[in-house]
Structure 1
Amino acid sequence: MRSDSGPIALRKMLPFSRRGGRKPSTSSDHASDEDHLLMDEELGQKKKRYTPNIVINQKYNIFTFLPLVLYEQFVVFFNLYFLLVALSQFVPALKIGYIVTYFGPLSFVLLVTISKEAMDDYQRYKRDKEANSQIYQRLSPSGPHTIPSSKISVGDLIIVRKDQRIPADMIFLRTTEETGACFIRTDQLDGETDWKLRLALPSMQRLSGDTELMNVEGTVNADAPHKDIHSFMGTFTYLDKTTMAERTESLGVENTLWSNTVLASGSAIGFVVYTGKDTRAVMNTNHPKTKVGLIDIEINRLAKILFLVTLCMSVIMVGLNGFHGLWYIYVFRFLILFSSIIPISLRVNLDMGKTVYARQIENDTSIQGTIVRTSTLPEELGRIEYLLTDKTGTLTKNDMELKKLHMGTMSYSLDTMDEIQAHLASACGKMNMPGKSRRNIAWRVKDIVQALALCHNVTPSFNLDEEITYQAASPDEVAIVRWTEQMGMVLVHRDINTIRLRITATGEYLEFEILNVFPFTSESKRMGIIIQDKQTQEIFFYQKGADAVMSSIVQYNDWLDEECGNMAREGLRTLVIAKKKLTEEAYDLFKEKFHEAEISMHERNENKQAVIESHLETELELLGLTGVEDKLQDGVKNTLENLRNASLKIWMLTGDKVETATCIAVSSKLVSRNQQIYQITKVSSTMEAFDEIDNLQSKTDCCLVIDGESLQFCLDACREEFIEVATRLPVVVCCRCSPTQKADITCLIKDYTKKRVLCVGDGGNDVSMIQAADVGVGIVGKEGRQASLAADFSITQFSHLTKLLLWHGRNSYKRSAKLSQFVIHRGLIISVMQAVFSALFYFAPIALYQGMLIVGYATLYTMAPVFSLVLDQDVNEEIALMYPELYKDLTKGRSLSYRTFFTWLLISVYQGGAIMVLSIILFEDEFIHIVSISFTALIFNELLMVALQISTWHKIMLLSEITTMLIYIGSMWLLPTYFDMSFILTERFVWKVAVITAVSSLPLYIVKIIRRRFAPPSYTKLI
């Protein structure tokens, strides 16, 4: 087998449609049809047409950086408006003050943003460079030689060592492990922490050495690149030089090594089939739509209103002057003068505030381990009205324990498990049990325990203390294997060919050859295995799965459905276990038919399943039913109760059956004590769907439980009617939900209700739902980190939601609302003063404040006190958590609304007018006195207004107020252009400023006292 120009060829086939025709590629990265059939002598040239194996995570390059960053900034209304204002200062007729006055703040904002983007992209560049320069060994006719990852091409034979990252998508040919199998770690690909087993090609593993690969003549057929990391179809056709016959082996996902996974055991040689953009890792690196917080949307609306206010004021000022002369020039000059109404500093203040909130969340020791992955959404935590949650691993611990075993005429629980040990010991010859019936029971017990010890995908491993630990993709399987160990049948060895069990009672070993394994899939809902007892040579097919599919496969019985229902009502997850004995002739026939299906490139999975169903899944002997308990997470009951009291409507979306989900909903207190449960199951017609919806119309306080099929029927047949009724209910439980359904429901609730939706989950099947939500929360659990990495917030347990929403969400929203309105007020009041000044001086568009005064106003003189509002809190933490009902007020959006906006607008008009009119009335004989009196009164007014808005004083707030006042007083000496110190140091200046400040701010303090007395906020009654 040669990778450069030798006898091996790579053929990449276009995917087939379901009808069997070829489906054209939709990706520009895919090669054309002629490139998908590569002849031996063409490989060296043709493979260059595949995408290079280069990792590129950078958003920009040296040429596109500035254009793209500037474009992203100036599509924002705030920045575009101030850019136009700044550019207007180059037009002589529009020039009002110093250009730096207008370009300074804009440049500062852009500099901060550009620097941040540049630093982030430089870090991406360094990571990309490190990944692309990693060294690997490529096998060639002259032996192994080193090559950087970026130079790896399709058709190369690459050697990967233990703990090394897989550089490209490869077919697994050989390994140093004697078993022909190795483990890979996939947490960076799918987020799952469990190791995955991968199998080398049997024909290549049997070669005497690695160099023999260079002499193999063969062809690899692989399907075109696609995103599904759990699916791969291909064949390997090679010339068997012993018989000189052409042989074909099927290639499945178990024979692949995907890029970005890590080899966990041994060394491996892989044949590269996909590189660069065609790899599964890159194709799954999607960039979900950027989420925008509701408060950002609201502020953007207010900014547009402010622009209209600015325009109206400008037109009014010119209109009152009679539209004389170049009136349109004067309109533009007034627009520039009033530009501070739309404060460019608002975006900076809000972004800085969000950073503070994120740090406060991450540093909260009571919710340790919480990570804020999207720092633009903390305020959204205070506006949630719908909570959609997964069950397994989210509400429950995903910590499984087998609680019950039912065998038709016999049932065992935790209290009677010692009987199973006795029966098993008897069946293995250690103990004698009198009576034929007892011996029969012992053999039946041995049958089911042995079936459970064999039918799984668990691999045992030993630590330094020789203790057994188990690796498996499913915690259910680990729980069952641990149970068989406790019963006396221990799984001590497993590889691709062999399973070995140890009987604790006798110390003897049972050894079985693995002939076939049929893994569990979400479509089949079952897994099976064919094994051969090496002692008796008997062949058995074992299968376990969900009762929904197994009940139609096993032999007739009259107890399975009833017992499944009983266990589900106890909150147990059920699995049906069955077996079938196969003759050698029956197995050989199955093997032949299954091989034909395996190597087909058209509907391979369907063909394989059809062979299994026709040759194996008929008349299986029902061995028994297991009930596994998944314990509730700590604090789940209190959390759900608190969130329900906070008026959140909670939906539980789970793949479990109706009975199990209902039981968990009741035990977790998701359903309140007196709440009725209304079930919708097995809906199969439009008439039924409408009847069920009509029945729900009158039930306003009940829990709806609906299965996946009925849900889909309702969504297809009567979507609007169903969602209208369902969203009015306090609790909804959707069972047998697929990941796609979870995401669809999320989008449907968002689109229909226009309310904020939070989704929480812990597994890869929750990622779509989490990304579709307004706020996605991932729990780091036993299913890995995939949900956590895809989420906006990552937590370690469900109970952390209480504090995340009721405390941090409350603070983030209230603080940002207060900060936004105050920054807007800061711009409005100075614009009102400008308008009054111009009106009193013949409507002349002359600037009242220029230079350092206008720059310092939004920075040195007010920024620290205003920004200190991000530390304010209206109630303490104890009150917020003790009375979750307070959260309901937040969802109404009253803290930042049109009402509060226009209230601040009126305050600004009053204060700006009062300060300016009184300054003109009280000024003496020089214009500089108007500036010094009015500006000083303005600064003191803003400091007093900040103090008025503070609910709970923090030492930083007090320090910022005092420091800012001292900075302002000290700057008077440094700015003689604006301040006449001989006048500033007189009593006249002091009393005039004091009177003006009192008139502008004192009435608001009086109003606040009156409102507190006669119409206090709800939370003040609890303090």
Structure 2
Amino acid sequence: MNGCNLYSQNGKLKENVLHEEGFVAGFAVPNVVRNQKYRAATFVFEVLYEQFRFFFNLYFLLVALSQFIPELQVGFLFTYIAPLVFVLSVTLIKEGYDDYQRYVRDKEANSQRYERLHADGKKKSVPSADLKVGDVVFVPSGARVPADMLLLRTSDKSGTVFIRTDQLDGETDWKLRRALAGTQRSPTDDAIINVRGSVWADKPTKEIDSFIGNFTLEDDGLDDRLEANSRGLEHVEPLSIDNTLWANTIVCGGSAVGLVLYTGADTRVAMNADPPKSKVGLVDIEINRLAKMLFALSLVSSFVMVLLKGWTDTWFQSLFRFVILFSSIIPISLRVNVDMAKTAFSYFMMGDKEIPGTIVRSSFIPEELGRIDYLLSDKTGTLTQNQMEMKEIHMGEVSFGREALDDVRSLLRKAFEIKEETFRGRPPVQLRTRRLIEALALCHNVNVTLEGGEAIYQASSPDEVALVNYAKLTGLVLEDRTLTAIILRRPTGEQVEYEILNVFPFNSDTKRMGIILRENETGRILFLMKGADATMTPIVEFSDWLEEECGNLARKGLRTLVIAMKVLSKEEYAAFSQRYELAKRSLQDRDASMRTAVEELECNLTLLGLTGVEDKLQDQVNSTLETLRNAGVRVWMLTGDKVETATCIAISSHLFARNAPIFHLLAANKEQAEEEFKRFQKKPGACLVIDGRSLSLCTDNFPRQFIEVACKCPSVVCCRCLPTQKALIVRLLKRHAKKRCAAIGDGGNDVAMIQAADVGIGIEGKEGRQASLAADFSLTKFKHVSRLMLWHGRNSYTRTARLSQFVIHRGLIISMIQIVFSAIFYFATIAIYSGWLVVGYSTVYTMLPVFSLVFDEDVDPDTAFMYPELYKELQKGRRLCTRTFLEWTFKSIYQGGVIMLLSIFMFDDSFLRIISITFTSLLLTELLMVALEIQKWKLLMIVSQILSLAAYVLSFFLLPTYFDVGYIFSGSFWLKVTVITLVSCLPVTIGKWLQRRCSPPAYLKIARSRDGFDF
């Protein structure tokens, strides 16, 4: 097996590598945090490469470059270069600013200073980036752990310290870590450097909940020696996850000294993170596809013009000139308008008082919020507050709710006034109550800390804190806990001490935890266990009420735990202890050997009772999930928590519909996974619950089939998920199911999922800001996601689609005029509009009215939330598709042709007049089309129309060479313009009215029905 030995010799730590598969390279990894997307030297090239991967930008780059060739020039160079430079400049500035922010955050993390112990026993302050494998580092209370380390010593004499792992696994509760016994015995932190020993550590891995290693104490250099045993194994101390401090966790409740095992990219947090990537919205992809279609139209038109003109020696040059002349068919202003609109949408979101504190960190994809198919959500801190409260206890025929605390206190006081041994057979209710409450106060991994003179309970599981707090409320108080003892204060006021002999922590395989104690008062050895009903039922005495009551509590959304006990004789415990100690020192299959030893005790346990704990949900989670479900958004829960906990939350939050069938897909190997998957396929309509191991088996062996079947479920819960597995689910949904995915979370373990999703949403809360900083959108509460998607997402998508259509229409109609003009005037490659008219048409004259569409609303907020089903229409992507593109193309061809042909038909005697007539008709047609498309008029829209007309009238005097001013103010001119504009717009308007009358969209039906109109 791969590993490394870290030696302390002559006061200096050295490293030796047992090299089998190149693991030696791992030691060269620098301990730096890097989340930047680009490198300074290649920043411009990387951004430009990303931009020119799209046909849209590449096309205009080629068109702009062609204008440097005299034979291909057809207009002002400025009109082709400026828009492209503007678009690229905005992109470079945005990407540069975002990456600079990442650089600042990385620099802050890498420059954090820590005290490193040196050979002379002194501490030297060094930046985090300078730490190397084998360094001994002091980490003060409240500081971030800079690398993956082995815990050597703590400030607490018991050798324990708490850590917060919220930025690693998403759990906000403190977890207990234990220092090595051989190094904890050092009198001071500085004396650790004199300890001579070696550490065998497993190779780097993504597993954040497991670690295997051994510590061999060769010579501790201290007066106090470890006790020897006859087997000569006294110097070997097995290492587990309890002896580690992973990078990015926070040391709490004391200081720690650790030995650096893994650095930089080899740390758990780095291996579970994905590098940031540029996200491209589906609208941008669709625009790119439409640009290709427009280019094809331009190319066909140019080829037809050359064909009609006749083949000459310069036909190829003419073809290129026509392509450039018709280049306005693909309006480069489309990118400018769309990018500006996205920025506006971002400000609308951040300025919404209904969702205060919202931050848009990526203004490139706000419209993606309007067409989400799947929302993948974290549980802890996102859907729940992670605050537990005991609600019910059951002991068969007797049960007590939260409101019956006085009854429990009374029974408990009576129980301590009588002697247990005086009863034979089934004990009375007061003694059964005492046994259950004592088990709650003893069977746990809760530690007592002092904050402001008040005792506070801390544990890795909030369930355990809730159980101990309940015992405290009944009068049985946990006073103190060390590595070797638990002290309780009874309702009578007396204190009793229990010696801790063994602790068996909860894990996802056993789904239960146990503890062996010796009661000092009586000398009895007690084996207490608690766990999920599925795993506890086979090992406790038969009960006819257990299964039924577990179901009742689960239907209430409560998390259930079965509590049991067993009294061990001294002989039984001695035999077990010997087997267990040998298993702990095994290097091969250590966990399995330890599990086998414990399982020999787990039989014929006495059932004490059943508990029901409530995990409080975030505000309005139920209504938010229901709204999203009605909107057609499938919500999946991806959590690192255990199966039972996640299932309870799915029920209580109504993520699973009431009485919906639930299928648990749990497998230990490939064959079992295939069998369970086949069973699941025969359960249509069932909600799926799957754990991390089973998920890996399914996604490794049959990913497409698994995703296809899972997508048919009303909802899915994935438990015990690693951060990389969360990201994998997102990628599989996008790749195999072709679905648009949003991911929401609040912890560092959600970053990979957030970055992999089409839209990443971070919640800034208890678990810090890492998820919020990595996300595209940052919220303060989960309930705001419905408004973000159903209102702002809807508006962003519908407005972007409409804006894109109008900009395309604006380019197509002027191109059609150019095509007809060239055809009439002997296929000349001469622009009908040149200079400032071309620039003014897409900027001064029409930009404001067209851009004002970003303020339009097809429905009001109340309608959007009252009828969330309207969102389903957006998921189909029909607002901007080939059909709508063709509709607007035909409109443009018709209107452009009518304007040019009628102008020629009404032609008087001046070419300048025909330009005035066609351009004025073109402008009025565009403004009228915008006005007819607006659903809800606002002041800015009216002002934009007036300003555009005023600017056009003003240009008569500022650009006299482009207009026949005398003719423009004649009645004949305005008569012709009015006729041409009406012929251009009236048929299109009538066709639109008939379409809405015969086949109105859903939002229009609802809007008119609410206003009292009958369809």
TM-score by length of 1: 0.85
Does the CA contact (< 8 Å) of 2:441 and 2:477 recur in 1?
Answer: yes
Deviation, structure 1 residue 892: 3.5
Shift of 1:659: 13
* 1:889-944 deviation line (CA, Å, top 9, x unaligned): 33333322222111110111122223333444556555444444433433333222
Determine the structure 2 residue equivalent to 1:31.
24
Cα distance change, pair 971–221 in 1 and its aligned pair in 2 (3 A):
farther
Answer whether contact 2:168 2:748 (CA < 8 A) is retained: no
Q: Deviations over 1:499-552 (max 9, x none)?
A: 33322x222223334444332222331222333434445443322111122223
Residues 65-113 of structure 1 deviation map (CA, whole Å, 9 limit, x = unaligned): 2221221111111111111111222233222223222111111111111
Provide the C-alpha distance between the structure 1 equivalents of 2:293 and 2:631, rounded to a whole number of angstroms. 33
For 1:138 and 1:500, how far apart are their aligned partners in 2? 37
The residue identity in structure 1 corresponding to 2:312 is H
Give me the whole-angstrom Cα distance separating, in 2, the residues matched to 1:912 and 1:553: 83
In structure 2, the partner of 1:19 is none
2:348 pairs with 356, 360, 363, which one?
A: 360
Q: Residue 141 of structure 1 aligns with which residue? A: 119
Q: In the alignment, which residue of structure 2 is the partner of 1:520?
A: 506
What residue is the counterpart of 1:960 in the other structure?
944
Indicate the residue corresponding to 2:369 in structure 1: 381
Q: Whole-Å Cα distance in 2 between the matches of residues 473 and 757 of structure 1? A: 31
Instruction: Answer whether contact 1:225 1:280 (CA < 8 A) is retained.
Output: yes
Amino acid at match of 1:211: D
User: Is residue 2:45 matched to residue 1:67?
Assistant: yes
2:191 alignment partner, one of 189, 209, 212: 212
Shift of 1:575: 0.8
User: How far, CA to CA, are the matches of 2:172 and 2:754 in structure 1?
Assistant: 19
Q: Which residue of 2 aligns with 1:323?
A: 311
User: Which shows bigger deviation, 731-740 or 268-277?
Assistant: 731-740
Is residue 2:290 matched to residue 1:295? Answer: no
Match of 1:870 in 2: 854
Deviation at 1:952, TM superposition (A): 0.7
Q: 1:624 aligned to 2:617?
A: no
Residue 704 (structure 1) aligned to one of 686, 697, 704: 686
- Which of 917, 934, 937 does residue 950 from structure 1 map onto? 934
Letter in 1 for 2:268: R
Unaligned runs of 5+ in 2: 1-5, 229-233, 667-671
In the alignment, is the contact (CA less than 8 A) between 1:484 and 1:490 conserved in 2? Answer: yes
Superposition deviation, residue 394 in structure 1: 6.3
SS at match of 1:141: coil
CA drift of 1:625 comes to: 1.6
Looking at structure 1, the residues matched to 700 and 136 of structure 2 have their Cα atoms a distance apart, in angstroms, of 50
Residue 912 of structure 1 pairs with residue 891 of structure 2 = no
Residue 166 (structure 2) pairs with residue 187 (structure 1)? yes
Q: Distance in 2 between matches of 1:95 and 1:745?
A: 52
Question: Quick one: structure 1 residues 387 and 146, their matched pair in 2 at CA, closer, same or farther if it must change by over 3 Å?
Answer: closer
1:941-970 deviations in whole A, cap 9, x for unaligned? 322222222111122222222233333433
Match of 2:15 among 1, 10, 15: 10
> Which residue number corresponds to residue 72 of structure 2?
94
How far apart are the structure 1 equivalents of 2:673 and 2:263?
A: 48
Contact 2:150–2:258 under 8 Å retained in 1: yes
2:13–2:135 Cα contact (<8 Å) kept: no
With over 3 angstroms needed to count, the CA separation of the structure-2 counterparts of 1:647 and 1:351, relative to structure 1, is: same
Deviation at 1:650, TM superposition (A): 6.4
1:195 Cα deviation (Å)? 2.9
Secondary structure of the structure 1 residue equivalent to 2:354: helix
Quick check: 2:710–2:716 contact (8 Å CA) kept in 1? no
Structure 1 pair 735/182, CA: closer, same or farther in 2 (3 Å)? closer
1:351 matched to 2:344? The reply is no
**CA distance in structure 2 between the aligned counterparts of 1:613 and 1:347, rounded to whole angstroms:** 66
1:468 and 1:756 mapped to 2: Cα distance?
48
- For residues 627-646 of structure 1, the aligned pairs below 5 Å read 627-630=612-615, 634-636=619-621, 638-639=623-624, 641-646=626-631
* Partner of residue 419, structure 1: 407
Distance 1:687 1:165 in 2: 44
The 1:541–1:787 alpha-carbon spacing in structure 2 relative to 1, beyond 3 Å, is farther
1:578 aligns with 2:556: no
Choose the corresponding residue for 2:247, options 256, 259, 264.
259
Cα distance between partner residues in 2 of 1:670 and 1:254: 35
* Counterpart pick for 1:228 among 189, 202, 207: 207
- C-alpha offsets along residues 400-445 of structure 1, whole Å, 9 cap, x if unaligned? 3323322345433345443322222123339999998997433332
Opposite residue 978 of structure 1, the aligned amino acid is Y
Unaligned 5+ segments in structure 1 are: 15-21, 37-48, 697-702
Query: Which residue of 1 is the match for residue 95 of structure 2?
Result: 117
Q: Assess if the C-alpha contact under 8 Å between 1:373 and 1:794 holds in 2.
A: yes
Quickly say closer, same or farther: Cα 1:126–1:738, change in 2 above 3 A.
closer
Query: Which amino acid in structure 1 is aligned with residue 558 of structure 2?
Result: L
The CA deviation at 1:462 is 4.4
Residues of 1 paired with 2:258 and 2:694: CA distance?
Answer: 45
1:140 and 1:649 mapped to 2: Cα distance?
A: 56
Shift in Å at residue 313 of structure 1? 0.9
Query: Does the CA-based 8 Å contact 2:115-2:125 persist in structure 1?
Result: yes
Q: 1:870 to 1:591 in 2, by over 3 A?
A: farther
Preserved contact between residue 7 and residue 216 of structure 1 (Cα < 8 Å) = no
1:492 match: 479
**Counterpart among 83, 86, 109 of residue 108 in structure 1:** 86
1:147–1:776 Cα change, 3 Å: closer
| Aligned match for 1:903, one of 865, 887, 908 | 887
Determine whether 1:335 maps to 2:334. Answer: no
Return 353-362 or 765-774, whichever deviates more: 765-774
Give the secondary-structure state (helix, strand or coil) at the position aligned to 2:284.
helix
Counterpart in the other structure of 1:476? 463
Which amino acid is 1:303 matched to? A
CA distance in 1, matches of 2:261, 2:676: 51
- Partner of residue 567, structure 1: 553
Aligned in 2, Cα 1:387/1:196: closer, same or farther, shift over 3 Å?
A: closer
CA contact (8 A) 1:571 1:660 kept: no
Residue 848 of structure 1 aligns with an amino acid whose one-letter code is I
Deviation, structure 1 residue 984: 5.2
Distance 1:814 1:852 in 2: 32
**RMSD of aligned C-alpha atoms?**
4.2
**Map of 1:582-593 to 2, 5 A cutoff?**
582-583=568-569, 586-587=572-573, 589-593=575-579
Secondary structure of 2:346's partner?
A: helix
Q: 1:169 corresponds to which residue? A: 148
**Does residue 593 of structure 2 align to residue 607 of structure 1?**
yes
- 8 Å CA contact retained: 1:136, 1:160: yes
Shift in alpha-carbon separation, 1:530–1:867, aligned structure 2, 3 A: farther
**Cα distance between partner residues in 1 of 2:423 and 2:34:** 73
* Deviation digits for residues 854-910 of structure 1 (CA, Å, limit 9, x no counterpart): 333333332222222111101111222223343333333332222211111011112
Structure 2 residue matching 1:63: 3-state secondary structure: helix
Alignment of 1:789-804 (within 5 A): 793=777, 795=779, 799-804=783-788
Q: Deviations over 1:243-278 (max 9, x none)?
A: 698722223332223333333343332222222222
Which one-letter code corresponds to 1:490 in the other structure?
A: V
Moved more, 273-282 or 679-688: 679-688
Aligned twin of 1:502 = 489
Q: Report the TM-score, using the length of structure 2 for normalisation.
A: 0.86
CA shift at 1:714, angstroms? 10
* Between 543-552 and 774-783, the greater mean CA deviation after superposition: 774-783
Tell me the distance in 1 between the aligned counterparts of 2:371 and 2:883: 18
Equivalences for residues 417-456 of structure 1 within 5 A: 417-429=405-417, 440-456=428-444
Could you tell me how far apart the structure 2 residues matched to 1:53 and 1:742 are? 25
Q: 1:77 to 1:587 in 2, by over 3 A?
A: farther
Worse-matched range after superposition: 735-744 or 205-214: 735-744
Are the counterparts in 2 of residues 4 and 140 from structure 1 also a CA contact under 8 Å? no
CA contact (8 A) 1:98 1:851 kept: yes
Structure 1 residue 224: Cα displacement: 1.9
